[in-house]
Protein backbone atom coordinates (compact mmCIF):
# COMPACT_ATOMS: atom_id res chain seq x y z
CA UNK A 1 0.00 0.00 0.00
CA UNK A 2 1.30 3.45 -0.87
CA UNK A 3 2.28 5.54 2.16
CA UNK A 4 0.92 9.05 2.40
CA UNK A 5 3.42 11.87 2.10
CA UNK A 6 4.38 13.31 5.51
CA UNK A 7 2.38 16.47 6.25
CA UNK A 8 3.67 19.38 8.30
CA UNK A 9 3.57 18.96 12.06
CA UNK A 10 0.72 21.44 12.59
CA UNK A 11 -1.53 19.29 10.38
CA UNK A 12 -0.68 16.21 12.44
CA UNK A 13 -1.42 18.10 15.66
CA UNK A 14 -4.79 19.25 14.31
CA UNK A 15 -5.84 15.69 13.47
CA UNK A 16 -5.00 14.43 16.94
CA UNK A 17 -6.61 17.38 18.68
CA UNK A 18 -9.89 16.34 17.04
CA UNK A 19 -9.32 12.67 17.94
CA UNK A 20 -8.91 13.42 21.65
CA UNK A 21 -11.95 15.68 21.71
CA UNK A 22 -14.11 12.99 20.08
CA UNK A 23 -12.64 10.10 22.11
CA UNK A 24 -12.90 11.82 25.51
CA UNK A 25 -14.49 9.03 27.60
CA UNK A 26 -17.39 9.42 30.00
CA UNK A 27 -15.21 7.65 32.57
CA UNK A 28 -11.41 7.55 32.44
CA UNK A 29 -11.60 3.98 33.76
CA UNK A 30 -12.51 2.99 30.21
CA UNK A 31 -8.98 3.95 29.13
CA UNK A 32 -7.63 1.00 31.09
CA UNK A 33 -10.13 -1.54 29.72
CA UNK A 34 -9.12 -1.06 26.07
CA UNK A 35 -7.68 -4.25 24.62
CA UNK A 36 -4.55 -2.49 23.37
CA UNK A 37 -3.75 -1.37 26.92
CA UNK A 38 -4.55 -4.76 28.46
CA UNK A 39 -2.25 -6.51 25.99
CA UNK A 40 0.43 -3.83 25.81
CA UNK A 41 1.12 -2.62 29.34
CA UNK A 42 2.46 -5.94 30.71
CA UNK A 43 4.92 -6.04 27.81
CA UNK A 44 6.10 -2.45 28.26
CA UNK A 45 6.59 -2.59 32.01
CA UNK A 46 8.97 -5.56 31.87
CA UNK A 47 11.53 -3.20 30.29
CA UNK A 48 11.29 -0.57 33.05
CA UNK A 49 13.70 -1.25 35.95
CA UNK A 50 12.08 -1.07 39.36
CA UNK A 51 14.72 1.41 40.56
CA UNK A 52 14.05 4.00 37.81
CA UNK A 53 13.80 7.37 39.57
CA UNK A 54 12.85 9.76 36.77
CA UNK A 55 10.58 8.61 33.94
CA UNK A 56 9.45 10.69 30.97
CA UNK A 57 6.56 9.91 28.65
CA UNK A 58 6.70 11.65 25.27
CA UNK A 59 3.31 12.05 23.58
CA UNK A 60 0.90 10.72 26.19
CA UNK A 61 -2.29 10.88 24.11
CA UNK A 62 -5.02 9.58 26.42
CA UNK A 63 -2.61 9.43 29.34
CA UNK A 64 -3.36 5.80 30.06
CA UNK A 65 0.24 4.58 29.85
CA UNK A 66 1.79 7.48 31.72
CA UNK A 67 -0.77 7.16 34.52
CA UNK A 68 -0.37 3.38 34.62
CA UNK A 69 3.42 3.70 34.84
CA UNK A 70 3.07 6.19 37.71
CA UNK A 71 0.68 3.84 39.50
CA UNK A 72 2.95 0.82 38.93
CA UNK A 73 6.11 2.69 40.00
CA UNK A 74 4.94 4.83 42.95
CA UNK A 75 8.49 5.69 44.07
CA UNK A 76 9.33 7.18 40.67
CA UNK A 77 8.71 10.70 39.41
CA UNK A 78 6.80 10.42 36.14
CA UNK A 79 6.69 13.40 33.78
CA UNK A 80 3.82 13.04 31.32
CA UNK A 81 4.01 15.25 28.23
CA UNK A 82 2.10 16.05 25.08
CA UNK A 83 2.01 18.94 22.63
CA UNK A 84 -1.80 19.16 22.89
CA UNK A 85 -3.72 20.61 25.82
CA UNK A 86 -6.69 18.37 24.95
CA UNK A 87 -4.54 15.29 25.56
CA UNK A 88 -3.05 16.67 28.78
CA UNK A 89 -6.50 17.52 30.13
CA UNK A 90 -7.59 13.93 29.60
CA UNK A 91 -4.38 12.60 31.17
CA UNK A 92 -4.80 14.81 34.25
CA UNK A 93 -8.35 13.53 34.71
CA UNK A 94 -7.14 9.95 34.42
CA UNK A 95 -4.46 10.56 37.07
CA UNK A 96 -6.91 12.24 39.42
CA UNK A 97 -9.47 9.47 39.03
CA UNK A 98 -6.78 6.83 39.63
CA UNK A 99 -5.44 8.60 42.72
CA UNK A 100 -1.99 9.00 41.19
CA UNK A 101 0.12 11.67 42.91
CA UNK A 102 3.64 11.05 41.55
CA UNK A 103 2.95 12.27 38.00
CA UNK A 104 3.37 15.80 36.66
CA UNK A 105 2.00 17.03 33.34
CA UNK A 106 3.74 19.37 30.91
CA UNK A 107 3.11 20.67 27.44
CA UNK A 108 6.14 19.69 25.38
CA UNK A 109 7.12 19.43 21.73
CA UNK A 110 8.74 16.04 21.05
CA UNK A 111 11.02 17.69 18.50
CA UNK A 112 12.28 20.31 20.96
CA UNK A 113 12.07 19.14 24.57
CA UNK A 114 12.70 21.80 27.21
CA UNK A 115 14.53 19.50 29.66
CA UNK A 116 18.28 19.70 30.32
CA UNK A 117 20.61 17.01 29.02
CA UNK A 118 20.75 13.74 31.01
CA UNK A 119 17.50 14.31 32.94
CA UNK A 120 15.75 10.91 32.87
CA UNK A 121 16.43 7.24 33.56
CA UNK A 122 13.60 5.97 31.34
CA UNK A 123 11.79 7.54 28.39
CA UNK A 124 8.60 5.91 27.15
CA UNK A 125 6.74 6.73 23.94
CA UNK A 126 3.83 4.70 22.60
CA UNK A 127 3.04 4.95 18.87
CA UNK A 128 4.29 8.53 18.52
CA UNK A 129 7.27 8.26 16.17
CA UNK A 130 5.04 6.86 13.42
CA UNK A 131 3.02 10.08 13.20
CA UNK A 132 5.96 12.49 13.06
CA UNK A 133 7.26 13.81 9.74
CA UNK A 134 10.77 13.71 11.26
CA UNK A 135 10.86 10.82 13.76
CA UNK A 136 14.65 10.89 13.92
CA UNK A 137 14.53 14.39 15.42
CA UNK A 138 12.26 13.22 18.22
CA UNK A 139 14.45 10.21 18.96
CA UNK A 140 17.51 12.47 18.96
CA UNK A 141 15.85 14.67 21.60
CA UNK A 142 15.03 11.62 23.70
CA UNK A 143 18.68 10.57 23.50
CA UNK A 144 19.76 14.03 24.63
CA UNK A 145 17.60 14.15 27.76
CA UNK A 146 18.26 10.50 28.67
CA UNK A 147 20.94 9.76 31.26
CA UNK A 148 23.88 7.57 30.23
CA UNK A 149 22.84 3.96 30.78
CA UNK A 150 19.16 4.91 30.60
CA UNK A 151 16.56 3.41 28.27
CA UNK A 152 14.17 4.64 25.63
CA UNK A 153 11.17 2.35 25.11
CA UNK A 154 9.30 3.31 21.95
CA UNK A 155 6.73 1.58 19.77
CA UNK A 156 5.15 1.81 16.34
CA UNK A 157 2.32 0.15 14.50
CA UNK A 158 4.01 -2.67 12.60
CA UNK A 159 4.55 -2.48 8.85
CA UNK A 160 4.48 -6.29 8.82
CA UNK A 161 1.03 -6.52 10.42
CA UNK A 162 -0.83 -7.53 7.27
CA UNK A 163 -4.40 -7.15 8.63
CA UNK A 164 -3.71 -3.51 9.49
CA UNK A 165 -2.21 -2.80 6.08
CA UNK A 166 -5.23 -4.40 4.41
CA UNK A 167 -7.54 -2.24 6.53
CA UNK A 168 -5.75 0.95 5.49
CA UNK A 169 -5.57 -0.22 1.89
CA UNK A 170 -9.31 -0.86 1.77
CA UNK A 171 -10.04 2.62 3.10
CA UNK A 172 -7.78 4.10 0.44
CA UNK A 173 -9.43 1.99 -2.29
CA UNK A 174 -12.93 3.22 -1.45
CA UNK A 175 -11.84 6.84 -1.06
CA UNK A 176 -12.15 7.07 2.74
CA UNK A 177 -9.61 8.84 4.90
CA UNK A 178 -7.70 6.95 7.55
CA UNK A 179 -8.83 8.50 10.81
CA UNK A 180 -5.35 9.11 12.18
CA UNK A 181 -3.94 10.76 9.07
CA UNK A 182 -0.27 10.24 8.28
CA UNK A 183 1.18 7.08 9.80
CA UNK A 184 4.55 5.58 8.95
CA UNK A 185 4.32 1.88 9.83
CA UNK A 186 7.88 0.85 10.68
CA UNK A 187 8.98 -2.74 10.20
CA UNK A 188 10.97 -4.25 13.08
CA UNK A 189 14.19 -3.76 11.13
CA UNK A 190 13.37 -0.13 10.28
CA UNK A 191 12.60 0.75 13.89
CA UNK A 192 15.80 -0.91 15.09
CA UNK A 193 17.87 0.89 12.45
CA UNK A 194 16.36 4.22 13.50
CA UNK A 195 17.57 3.61 17.06
CA UNK A 196 21.02 2.54 15.91
CA UNK A 197 21.46 5.59 13.70
CA UNK A 198 20.77 7.87 16.66
CA UNK A 199 23.48 6.23 18.76
CA UNK A 200 21.51 3.78 20.91
CA UNK A 201 22.54 0.25 21.81
CA UNK A 202 19.45 -1.84 21.05
CA UNK A 203 18.90 -4.13 24.05
CA UNK A 204 15.37 -5.32 23.38
CA UNK A 205 12.83 -5.88 20.62
CA UNK A 206 9.28 -6.97 21.27
CA UNK A 207 5.69 -6.57 20.15
CA UNK A 208 2.14 -7.42 21.07
CA UNK A 209 -1.42 -8.12 19.97
CA UNK A 210 -1.05 -9.41 16.40
CA UNK A 211 -4.78 -10.13 16.38
CA UNK A 212 -5.85 -6.51 16.87
CA UNK A 213 -5.46 -5.92 13.14
CA UNK A 214 -8.13 -8.61 12.60
CA UNK A 215 -10.27 -7.58 15.59
CA UNK A 216 -10.67 -4.09 14.08
CA UNK A 217 -12.36 -5.60 11.04
CA UNK A 218 -15.47 -5.87 13.19
CA UNK A 219 -16.45 -2.55 11.61
CA UNK A 220 -17.03 -4.56 8.41
CA UNK A 221 -18.71 -7.59 10.02
CA UNK A 222 -19.26 -8.59 13.69
CA UNK A 223 -17.73 -12.04 13.15
CA UNK A 224 -14.24 -10.53 13.02
CA UNK A 225 -14.49 -9.66 16.72
CA UNK A 226 -14.67 -13.38 17.52
CA UNK A 227 -12.07 -14.35 14.94
CA UNK A 228 -9.73 -11.78 16.46
CA UNK A 229 -10.32 -13.15 19.96
CA UNK A 230 -9.58 -16.71 18.85
CA UNK A 231 -6.49 -15.62 16.96
CA UNK A 232 -5.21 -13.78 20.03
CA UNK A 233 -5.38 -16.99 22.06
CA UNK A 234 -3.51 -18.88 19.35
CA UNK A 235 -0.86 -16.15 19.21
CA UNK A 236 -0.24 -16.43 22.95
CA UNK A 237 0.30 -20.19 22.62
CA UNK A 238 2.73 -19.69 19.74
CA UNK A 239 4.58 -16.96 21.64
CA UNK A 240 5.03 -19.32 24.58
CA UNK A 241 6.98 -21.82 22.46
CA UNK A 242 8.80 -19.35 20.18
CA UNK A 243 10.28 -16.84 22.66
CA UNK A 244 7.58 -14.35 21.57
CA UNK A 245 8.66 -14.46 17.92
CA UNK A 246 5.11 -14.04 16.58
CA UNK A 247 4.46 -10.88 18.56
CA UNK A 248 8.00 -9.57 18.11
CA UNK A 249 7.84 -9.68 14.32
CA UNK A 250 4.13 -9.65 13.49
CA UNK A 251 2.48 -7.90 16.44
CA UNK A 252 0.13 -5.02 15.75
CA UNK A 253 2.60 -2.84 17.62
CA UNK A 254 6.33 -3.44 17.76
CA UNK A 255 8.68 -2.17 20.46
CA UNK A 256 12.33 -1.20 20.42
CA UNK A 257 14.33 -0.66 23.61
CA UNK A 258 17.47 1.43 23.22
CA UNK A 259 20.09 2.14 25.85
CA UNK A 260 22.24 5.26 25.87
CA UNK A 261 25.85 4.12 26.23
CA UNK A 262 27.34 4.79 29.66
CA UNK A 263 30.09 7.39 29.71
Whether 4 has a pLDDT exceeding 60, the answer reads no
Per-residue model confidence (pLDDT) at position 137: 97
Rounded CA separation 246/79 (Å): 32
What's the burial of 109, exposed, middle or buried (CB within 10 Å: 0-12/13-18/19+)? middle
Residue 216: φ, ψ to 5°: -65, -20
Average pLDDT over residues 101-120: 97
Query: What pLDDT score does 29 carry?
Result: 81
- pLDDT of residue 245 exceeding 60: yes
Q: Which whole number is the average pLDDT over 106-131?
A: 97
Q: What is the pLDDT of residue 221?
A: 87
Choosing among 3.90.180.10, 3.20.190.10, 3.10.20.440, 3.40.50.150, the CATH entry for 9-259 is 3.40.50.150
Rounded Cα distance between 147 and 3, Å, is 35
Rounded distance, CA 121 to CA 127, Å?
20
Looking at every residue in the chain, the average pLDDT score rounds to 89
Host H or E run for residue 151:
strand 146-157
pTM for the predicted model, two decimal places: 0.89
Q: Is the pLDDT of residue 155 over 90?
A: yes
The full set of domain ranges for the chain reads: 9-259
Cβ pair 255, 206 in contact under 8 A: yes
Q: Hey, how many other C-beta atoms are within 10 angstroms of the C-beta on 187?
A: 15
Q: 186, 130 in Cβ contact below 8 A?
A: yes
Amino acid sequence: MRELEPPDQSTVNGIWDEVWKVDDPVSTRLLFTHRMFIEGFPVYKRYIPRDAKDILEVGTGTGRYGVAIAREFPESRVVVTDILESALALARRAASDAGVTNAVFRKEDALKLSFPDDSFDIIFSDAVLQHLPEPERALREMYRVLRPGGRVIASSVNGWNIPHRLHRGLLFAVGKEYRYGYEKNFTPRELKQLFLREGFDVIGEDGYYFAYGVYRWKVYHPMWKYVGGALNRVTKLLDAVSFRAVSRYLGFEIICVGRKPAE
